[in-house]
Each structure stands twice: as structure tokens, then as C-alpha cells.
């Protein structure tokens, strides 16, 4: 056996209404642990064993304000703010990667966008996310997603 990996994740999301606002507090965690045994690659070169772990814990919330749009449909602008903690650890220094800092420590993340809920409970969302980490990484993410219930 060359190695093994374990990926775990969990999320808890609340849903509350206050006046015209929808509040969604949440907590999320994921982790990946990997162990590779020493092996010989396809060129006949012996490769050392390798241990690696990474993950993120996050907590925060999102606020949206659903507004009537068309008959039976709503449009809901949203904003969220989250605090993250990243952890990464490696058991071996890899040639060529020793100067790359691991994503480690705290970060803050803001999200915003719009969700359109259609007549048959289908949903279309478009938004973005900006995060600054303790390593001073700045991460921009944009997404568009659709969901259709069965």
C-alpha cells in the first residue's frame, strides 16, 4: 500500500428571521490528513515517505433581505462576515517548495452577492468573497451557481 488519506468535514447552519431579514449563523470545519509510505516511482527513483495535514475552521454568519421581484419570485441581496483559522503541517521539506509559506493562522472573510429564488423553488446565486489571512494572503473568489430541487 502506497499511503492513505482521511478527509473530514462538518457544517452547522442556522436559519432565523428577524423582521424582513434572514440571518444564517454558521460554523464549519474540514481537515485532510495524508500519509504516503516510501515508494519507487515510474523512473525507478526512490521517493521518501511523506506526512501532510491541512484544514480550516470557520465561524460567522450571513444576512439577506428577500424582496419581491416577480409574481412568486424573490431577489435577495446578501452579505456575510466570517472568521477562519487555517492549519497546515508537513513532515518533509520538498525540494522547490521550501520557500512557499503554508496557509496558517487566522483570517477574515467577507462575502456578498444576490440570490434569486424562482417560482418552483429553484435558485440562482451570483456573488463574491474576499479574504485576508494572517500570512497576508489576499484571496478573491467569484461564483455563480444554480439549484433545482427534485
Instruction: Find cell 521517493 and name the residue.
Output: 47
Q: Average pLDDT of 22-46?
A: 91
Q: Average pLDDT of 79-100?
A: 74
pLDDT, averaged across the chain: 88
Q: Would you state the pLDDT for residue 105?
A: 85
Q: Would you state the pLDDT for residue 99?
A: 47
Model pLDDT for residues 98-137, shown as the tens digit of each residue: 445 567 889 999 999 999 998 778 999 999 999 998 878 8
Class for domain 3-147, per CATH?
mainly beta
Q: Would you state the pLDDT for residue 52?
A: 84
Sorted by where each begins, the domain ranges of the chain are 3-147
Model pLDDT for residues 70-79, shown as the tens digit of each residue: 888 999 999 9
Which long-range CB contacts under 8 A does 31-35 form with residues at least 24 apart? 31/6, 31/7, 31/55, 32/5, 32/6, 32/7, 33/5, 33/6, 34/3, 34/4, 34/5, 34/6, 35/3, 35/4, 35/5
Specify the pTM.
0.76
Q: Which three cell numbers stand for residue 124?
A: 440562482
Give the HSE-up count for residue 54: Cα atoms under 13 Å, Cβ half-sphere.
Answer: 6
Amino acid at each position: 500500500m502506497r499511503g492513505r488519506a482521511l478527509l473530514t468535514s462538518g457544517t452547522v447552519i442556522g436559519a432565523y428571521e428577524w423582521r424582513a431579514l434572514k440571518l444564517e449563523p454558521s460554523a464549519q470545519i474540514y481537515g485532510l490528513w495524508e500519509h504516503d509510505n516510501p515508494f519507487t516511482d515510474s523512473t525507478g527513483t526512490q521517493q521518501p515517505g511523506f506526512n501532510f495535514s491541512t484544514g480550516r475552521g470557520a465561524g460567522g454568519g450571513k444576512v439577506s433581505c428577500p424582496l419581491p421581484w416577480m409574481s412568486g419570485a424573490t431577489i435577495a441581496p446578501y452579505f456575510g462576515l466570517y472568521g477562519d483559522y487555517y492549519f497546515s503541517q508537513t513532515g518533509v521539506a520538498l525540494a522547490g517548495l521550501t520557500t512557499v509559506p503554508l496557509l496558517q493562522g487566522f483570517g477574515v472573510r467577507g462575502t456578498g452577492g444576490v440570490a434569486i429564488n424562482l417560482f418552483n423553488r429553484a435558485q440562482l446565486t451570483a456573488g463574491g468573497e474576499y479574504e485576508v489571512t494572517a500570512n497576508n494572503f489576499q484571496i478573491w473568489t467569484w461564483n455563480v451557481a444554480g439549484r433545482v430541487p427534485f
